Structure 1
Amino acid sequence: MPLATTRRTGLVDQVIEQMRSAIATAEWKVGERIPTEPELVTALGVGRNTVREAVRALAHAGLLEVRQGDGTFVRATSEFSGALRRLVGSELREVLQVRRILEVEGARLAAVNRTEEELRELTEVLSAREKSMEARDYTVGVDKDAEFHGAVMRCSHNTLLTELYQGLTEVVRASVATTVREAPHKANVDHRGLLRAITERDPDRAAAEAAGFLDELLAELADSDA
């Protein structure tokens, strides 16, 4: 890592904050295993009980997941995101439904409020996404897909909407990864229509484009359950 050596007062709280910071800054990425207990004890200069209490607290908050015999893994970047992940669990339909609610309005507002600088960012991220998906580098592609949708939400210039969506980042990434894993032919969904609508400041078309591919996935799920 390494973590800074803690002071001798409020050790558990200090360890929690340092671990939280490592997660928030992506030093410890979602899905990755964090350092082992002995490594944390050495890095922090605290006892095992202090480390265990901190891990327990962050696991309870939804940021970490302790897997018996396998280690401790980063589950979410914030308590809000962790709570959302517990709420929707692994049910893809629920994730897609929540995404649709937020992304449709986000796209509509983005078409009205985006700046030229934000438009350039959207174009660059979408280009990187398409190249990764076409090369079947799905790990990078999924990250770029989530980055693109997050950038669209920022273009809305609605702080609350953006923060709500940010809390869903890990859930969105997981839903995209699940879609890619279960239906590789859906990996490179064409988002150029959405980008064109935002570029041309057409809110209704942007909303329709945002809803389109999610509605298609939801319809496929309904058919598979029929």
Structure 2
Amino acid sequence: MPQIIKRSLVEQAVEQLRERIARGAWAVGQRLPTEPELAMELGISRNTVREAMRVLAFSGLVEVRQGDGSYLRACVDPLLAVQALSRCSLAQAREARHILESEAIGLAAVRRTDADLVALHEALAGISAHFQGEADTYIAYDLVFHQCLVDAAHNPALSELYRYFSAVLASALHHSMSEGPRRQPVLDLHRDILDAVEQRDPERAKALSRTLINEP
């Protein structure tokens, strides 16, 4: 029973803090009140505040800096966005990839660095090695490859959005693999996309990305 009560208090504290964040009580980047201050304001113990801050840090709303305090990282809970993404259909996921991934890959072809190419070649080697192997391992390498492509655009907002979107992409990959065997043209498209990025050809990179996204 004490554990149930404690968990309930933490949940209540998390909800109150989320409401304050939503109301704009603190600006993004601002240092939050200390644990004793929040405990006094909310009428709860410091331990409960500490647990609540851990929850908010895990969700991406708060950044806890050891020895410095807690800072507001975002005013919208990223977990809510993840939940919304998880409810979209395969067709909706494909539409989102066209808008987000293809355009990001076009930017990557212009902005990529030598370090980006090294990471991409390593991820592609993993895809090739496990193309006919265990599905989870293959999908893990595939997600790394696509994340590296988006990261090569050097736009933190795009990278973060795509990172949240990866869960939906993984689900789509699992679905497509259950429908039939893996096809060589899919692997070839990955290689061609990397070649277009390496050759700094954004239009070709975007066109190949759209072709890959439309693959069943």
**TM-score normalised by structure 1 residue count:** 0.61
Deviation of residue 167 (structure 1)? 1.8
CA distance in 1, matches of 2:180, 2:49: 44
Indicate the larger mover: 141-150 or 185-194: 185-194
Corresponding residue of 1:208: 207
Question: For structure 1, which runs of at least 5 residues remain unmatched after alignment?
Answer: 1-5, 25-60, 63-76, 218-226
1:130–1:188 CA contact under 8 A, matched in 2: no
Q: Using a 3 Å threshold, how does the CA distance of structure 1 residues 186 and 82 change in structure 2: closer, same or farther? A: farther
1:213 Cα deviation from its structure 2 partner: 1.8
Could you tell me which of 179, 182, 190 is aligned with 1:182?
179
- Residue matched to 2:192: 193
1:131 pairs, out of 114, 129, 132, with: 129
SS at 2:182 equivalent: helix
Q: Out of 12-21 and 176-185, give the one that drifted further.
A: 12-21
CA separation of 1:174/1:20 partners in 2, compared to 1, >3 Å: closer, same or farther? farther
- Partner SS, residue 156 of structure 1: coil
- What is the percentage of aligned positions where both structures have the same residue? 27
Q: Return the alpha-carbon distance in structure 1 between the equivalents of residues 90 and 59 of structure 2.
A: 25
Secondary structure of the equivalent of 2:51? helix
8 Å Cα contact 1:180/1:187 also seen in 2:
no
CA contact (8 A) 1:126 1:144 kept: yes
Distance 1:184 1:17 in 2: 46
- Offset from partner CA, 1:148-203 (integer Å, 9 cap, x none): 11110000112222222122111111111111122233488220000100111111
RMSD: 2.8
CA shift in 2, pair 1:117/1:211, >3 Å: same
Q: Which moved more, 1:109-118 or 1:93-102?
A: 93-102
Say if 1:180 and 1:186, in contact at 8 Å, map to a contact too: no
CA distance in 1, matches of 2:52, 2:168: 23
Deviation by residue 1:130-165 (Cα, 9 ceiling, x = unmatched): 21123x211111111111111100001122222221
TM-score, normalisation: structure 2:
0.64
1:166 paired with 2:175, answer: no
2:84 corresponding residue in structure 1: 83
* Structure 2 unpaired stretches of 5+: 1-9, 11-34, 36-43, 61-75
Q: How does 1:6-155 map to 2 (within 5 A)?
A: 9=45, 11-18=47-54, 78-86=79-87, 88=88, 91-134=89-132, 136-155=133-152
- SS of 1:185's partner is coil
Q: 1:17 to 1:178 in 2, by over 3 A?
A: farther
Contact map agreement 2:186 2:215 (CA 8 A) in 1: no
Distance of aligned partners of 1:187 and 1:146 in 2 relative to their CA distance in 1, 3 Å threshold: farther
Task: Give the C-alpha shift of residue 22 in structure 1.
Answer: 6.5
Q: In 2, distance between residues paired with 1:132 and 1:16?
A: 41
Aligned pair in 2 of structure 1 residues 125, 16: CA closer, same or farther (>3 Å)? farther
Rounded Cα–Cα distance in structure 2 between residues aligned with 1:13 and 1:183:
50
Structure 1 CA distance, aligned partners of 2:58 and 2:113? 32
